[in-house]
Amino acid sequence: MSKIVVVGAGQAGASVVATLRANGFTGHVTLIGEEHAPPYQRPPLSKAYLLGEMALDRLFLRPESYYAENAIDLRLDTRVDAIDRSDKVVVAGGQSLSYDHLVLTTGSVPRRLPGAIGGELRGVHVVRTLRDVDKMAPSVVAGRHALIVGGGYIGLEAAAVCSKKGMKVTLVEMAERILNRVACPETAAYFRALHAGHDVDIREGVGLDRLVGEGHVEGAVLSDGTEIKADLVIAGIGITPATALAEAAGIGIDNGIAVDAHARTSDPSIWSAGDCASFPWKGGRVRLESVGNAIDMGELVARNILGADEEYVAKPWFWSGQYDVKLQIAGLARGGETIVVRGDGPVRSHWYYSDDELVAVDAMNDPRGYMVGKRLIEAGKSPQPDAVADPATDLKSLLKA
């Protein structure tokens, strides 16, 4: 009877095992995770869960009983130490598990502040796992000072939560502006104004020189010499794909675990999906850090293990929640040189064009703009920019053009 082992019990890993069973696979399925909780949603961690608006069991992707009921051997608090490709064995928790197919859904790890500048002081946190947020939560208290390092979406979401909790928040971004890598200046300006309206002190073009404190962080010195108070520091300076296990096993690496169009690695018996995997995209390679990609790619891997022979066609989408604003993103903004703005208030959307091609849409509290933009991008349609910008244009009519 065939044996499938999945390493990494996040969104992608959970999608693999659920899809295997839903598609009638009756062999052995093992899902191995390093955390103590069954697979759960990560996006609410830094928002609803940290705010106390979501209970722990609502985070779980499926009830814990689901795994036993579907004959999925869920092994939590278990680290995979090695992969023996020649014998098709993984070593985990002191045991050797054989596999016919191995799936690596190891996800990503957050970048941390270096110990040399105070990154190991108590009170310095990252936001990635349930344990991270549980450790941080008691310090998110009204009246205290929070320093957020990094002006990407994780940093901005953390700033919003701390502000809503009544903390005094300073956010520093080393680049010339927030969202420098991932969004246009117009989207950055929208969120800069949003945070300013909630008394968040955003400092752009300013980095962190060092943290100060005796055992616990007490303050920070910024790159411009400014000294500020900080009772809590959250580092939102990006993530890196978790490739160490694959690399040690000699599996091909290229900005993540390199897979082909079918999500198979350089070893034909090993597959990969989610944050850790890079795949072919428009003549190059790309790695997507999103829930949608984890789900879609995980499901594809399961179907291909069962013989579907499908190529992965990514449909990038992302979202962020800050205060009362829901940002929905369709497509990939990279390469979008021309920005078309639709709307001028809290409800608006920014449409990215590369030459004449629509490549991405940022929609702020504009679900219709997001929905239409996403469908246009997936269909390869690029409406005239003037029509998009004109408030009299019925967006749905663009789908028929």
Strand 277-281, strand 357-364: pairing: unpaired
Which CA distances in Å does 247 have to 22, 100, 130, 190?
31, 20, 26, 41
What local confidence, expressed as pLDDT, does residue 336 receive? Answer: 75
| DSSP assignment of 93-152 | TTEEEE-SEEEE---EEE----GGGTTTSBTEEE-SSHHHHHHHGGG--TTSEEEEE--S
pLDDT bracket for residue 93 (50, 70, 90): confident
Mean pLDDT in residue range 191-205: 98
Q: What is the pLDDT of residues 3-53, one digit of tens each?
A: 999 999 999 999 999 999 999 999 999 999 999 999 999 999 888 899 889
32 bridge partner residues: 7, 75
d(CA 264, CA 123) in angstroms, rounded, equals 41
Return the H-helix or E-strand segment holding 305: helix 291-305
What local confidence, expressed as pLDDT, does residue 151 receive? Answer: 97
Yes or no: say if 101 and 6 are a contact pair by the CB < 8 Å rule: no
d(CA 247, CA 359) in angstroms, rounded, equals 33
3 state DSSP class of 213: coil
pLDDT bracket for residue 333 (50, 70, 90): confident
d(CA 397, CA 267) in angstroms, rounded, equals 47
Q: Where are the beta strands (DSSP E) in 157-276?
A: 168-173, 201-204, 208-212, 219-222, 227-229, 232-235, 239-241, 257-258, 270-272
The angle subtended at Cα 291 by Cα 68 and Cα 300, nearest 5°, is 70
The amino acid sitting at 202 is: I
- Average pLDDT, whole number, for the chain? 96
Q: Is the pLDDT of residue 282 over 90?
A: no
Is 112-235 in the same CATH topology as 3-109+239-305? yes
Q: Which fold has domain 3-109+239-305?
A: FAD/NAD(P)-binding domain (3.50.50)
The matching CATH number, chosen from 3.40.47.10, 3.90.420.10, 3.50.50.60, 3.30.870.10, for 112-235 is 3.50.50.60
Q: Is the pLDDT of residue 60 over 90?
A: yes
What local confidence, expressed as pLDDT, does residue 335 receive? Answer: 72
d(CA 258, CA 284) in angstroms, rounded, equals 12
Domain regions of the chain by residue span: 3-109+239-305, 112-235, 324-398
Structural class in CATH, domain 324-398: alpha beta
3 state DSSP class of 59: helix
**Which residue is listed with tokens 């996800």?**
107
Yes or no: say if 234 and 158 are a contact pair by the CB < 8 Å rule: yes
The dihedrals phi and psi of 193, each to the nearest 5 degrees, come to: -65, -40
Yes or no: say if 123 and 232 are a contact pair by the CB < 8 Å rule: yes
Mean pLDDT in residue range 136-142: 95
What local confidence, expressed as pLDDT, does residue 185 receive? Answer: 96
d(CA 205, CA 174) in angstroms, rounded, equals 5
The dihedrals phi and psi of 344, each to the nearest 5 degrees, come to: -140, 15
Q: Is the pLDDT of residue 1 over 90?
A: no
Burial label for 235, CB within 10 Å (0-12, 13-18, 19+), is buried
Q: How many residues are given for the chain?
A: 401
Q: What is the pLDDT of residues 210-242, one digit of tens each?
A: 999 999 999 999 999 999 999 999 999 999 999
Q: Is the pLDDT of residue 337 over 90?
A: no
What local confidence, expressed as pLDDT, does residue 400 receive? Answer: 86
3 state DSSP class of 211: strand
